[in-house]
Amino acid sequence: MRSTASIMHLDLDAFFASVEQRDKPSLRGRPVIVGGIGPRGVVATASYEARVHGVRSAMRTAEARARCPHAAFLGGRFDAYREASRLVMDRLRQESELIEPLSLDEAFVDLAAGASPTTGFDPGRVEHLVDRLRADITEITGGLTASVGVASSKLMAKIASEVNKPDGVYVIAPGTEVDVLGPMQVTAIPGVGPATAERLRRMGVLTVDDLRRQSEDELVRLLGQASGRSLHRLAVADDDRPVVASREAKSVSVEDTFEQDISDRLQLETIIERMARTVSARLRKNGLSGRTVTLKMRHHDFETHTRSSTLAHPTDNARVLADKARGLLAGEDISNGLRLLGVGVSGLADWVQDDLFADDDPDPIDDGEADDEATSSRPVRWYPGMDVHHDHHGDGWVWGSGLGRVTVRFETRWTPPGPVHTFRADDLALGAGHTGTLQS
DNA sequence: TCTGGGGTCCTAGGACCC
DNA sequence: TCTGGGGTCCTAGGACCC
């Protein structure tokens, strides 16, 4: 906790819904609900007009429809949200070189790490700074509003931004943190969710003041080392967590809830392959590779299990990921059907040692296999950035791996025209712009 | 028509090694 | 033969956040 209110938390109001209202004037002033619009969808964001009817984030869309049938239900346009977010984050970076985005619509800003190193941070000018910032954001984004909290710590800044939401500001004067925090419900503290709140309630702890009367040992017994200790400190607004500019990704995953449960193993395997390709593409886009593959399964009764397995070396290869994930599915009883399947990778490294690829990259092609008219098997020289992996091309299937030497198999009658065939990766629907040479 | 999708962090137990 | 810790890695699950 600092002696000055120099940490800002900014939160865009009803972000997804507000972007939709901005881009479609007919939605302004009307309830707008963005989220899953399928039978198993939930609400991501409800505009304030919809909140009046009791619609909330994470509510089932079916219930939202019942409460607010006249609302506009939208599936979401993430490219538009990302772009609006970028504009806002760029503006925040003008305020301070140290900003910490928490999501598309939220960030901490360390004002003391700020823009004017000569004069330093001036607490007296915070209100002015925030007014200007909020006006700029509304202008830059074409009408979005933000709520802002400023305080001496992350904890209090985040709490402060809630106070006058939407389109409001709250500054917590240094020295008053405990007075402000004390009467609040424990759930006001970020990290205290329903499960923790219920455990605390059974001890008679409802407010932060109640929490403060518990010993650290007691909280550790109840909640474990990390949560117990941290909550004991947060209860007295003791928080010195720094604003951290960028954190590296720890995992990449894709998951999907099906409209109807699926119990067909082949169908699930096909879905796994598609998901592995998506994960692979995202890894490559970010220059990452990972070692631990996780398969997530949610059964018909909502029981959720994960199975994971760790490779000897990091990979970003779709086929390696798919093979591993399929193997994890093999041991599972899916006879009653899955409602969700997910594929993820963790244990990320930011580079790939291509020599190692040969080891953890089981080649589906038997090199010694006899060629016939329909099949040819020949080595390919691969260039960095190129990628072919188990993709349908024209009337053939192309198999391959990431960097280094790979073998490509044309399972049907598509054969390269000549001894050396140059092609572009986008010919193979694998992403544009790269050129490779196929040598025979 | 109960209960999204993308993450992070923490805990706990077992294996394995020194 | 018995009795140790400590550290790290791996796996599984759970709470929480937006």
Which stretches in chain A have pLDDT values below 50? 353-440
**Residue A106: active-site member:** yes
User: Which token pair is A38?
Assistant: 């399928």
Chain A residues 278 to 297 whose Cβ lies within 7 Å of strand B are 282
Å: A312 CA to C3 C1': 34
Distance, CA of A251 to CA of A206 (rounded, Å): 35
Chain centroid to Cα A319, Å, comes to: 23
Å: A414 CA to C15 C1': 52
Chain C positions with a protein C-beta closer than 7 Å? 9-18
Query: Which pLDDT value is given to residue A247?
Result: 85
Measured in Å, how far apart are chain A's first and last C-alpha atoms? 67
Query: Which pLDDT value is given to residue A354?
Result: 46
Q: Which domains does chain A have, with CATH numbers?
A: 1-175 (3.30.70.270), 179-234 (1.10.150.20), 251-359 (3.30.1490.100), 365-439 (no CATH)
> Phi, psi at residue A207, to the nearest 5°?
-105, 170
b/e for A357-387, b at 16 or more Cβ within 10 A?
Answer: beebbeeeeeeeeeeeeebbbbebebeeebb
Chain centroid to Cα A48, Å, comes to: 24
> Phi, psi at residue A82, to the nearest 5°?
-60, -40
Chain centroid to Cα A113, Å, comes to: 27
Q: Distances in Å between the alpha carbon of A84 and those of A17, A78, A91, A139, A249?
A: 12, 10, 11, 12, 22
Check if residue A344 sits with its Cβ under 7 angstroms from strand B. yes
Å: A249 CA to B1 C1': 36
Protein residue nearest nucleotide C10, by CA to C1': A310
User: Which token pair is A284?
Assistant: 């490559």
Q: Is A77 exposed, middle or buried (0-12, 13-18, 19+ CB in 10 A)?
A: middle
User: Which token pair is A259?
Assistant: 């409209």
Residue A166: cis peptide before it, omega within 30 degrees of 0 = yes
What is the number of other CB atoms lying within 10 angstroms of the CB of residue A333? 8
pTM as predicted = 0.80
Distance, CA of A40 to CA of A368 (rounded, Å): 49
Distance, CA of A187 to CA of A195 (rounded, Å): 10
Could you tell me whether strands A391-393 and A396-398 are parallel, antiparallel, or unpaired per DSSP bridges?
antiparallel
A105 is in an annotated binding site: yes
Query: Which pLDDT value is given to residue A385?
Result: 35
User: Which token pair is A56?
Assistant: 């909330």
Check if residue A201 sits with its Cβ under 7 angstroms from strand C. no
User: Which token pair is A183?
Assistant: 């009467």
Query: Which pLDDT value is given to residue A333?
Result: 95
A100 strand-pairing partners: A108
Distance, CA of A88 to CA of A245 (rounded, Å): 15
Q: Distances in Å between the alpha carbon of A337 and those of A50, A263, A302?
A: 35, 4, 10
Distance, CA of A101 to CA of A436 (rounded, Å): 38
Chain B positions with a protein C-beta closer than 7 Å? 1-12
Q: Point out the nucleotide closest to A199 (alpha carbon to C1′).
A: C15
Distance, CA of A393 to CA of A391 (rounded, Å): 6
Residue from A20, A49, A100, A106 carrying the catalytic annotation: A106
Check if residue A253 sits with its Cβ under 7 angstroms from strand C. no
> Phi, psi at residue A322, to the nearest 5°?
-65, -40
Distance, CA of A78 to CA of A21 (rounded, Å): 14
Q: Can you say whether residue A394 is alpha, beta or left, with left for phi > 0 and alpha for psi between -120 and 50 degrees?
A: left
Contacts of A8 (CB under 8 A, 6+ apart): A95, A108, A109, A110, A111, A130, A148, A149, A150, A157
Chain A residues 13 to 42 whose Cβ lies within 7 Å of strand B are 35-36, 38-42
Å: A367 CA to B6 C1': 40
- Consecutive H or E run containing A259: strand A251-262
- Give the type of residue at A4: T
Check if residue A212 sits with its Cβ under 7 angstroms from strand C. no
Distance, CA of A173 to CA of A170 (rounded, Å): 10
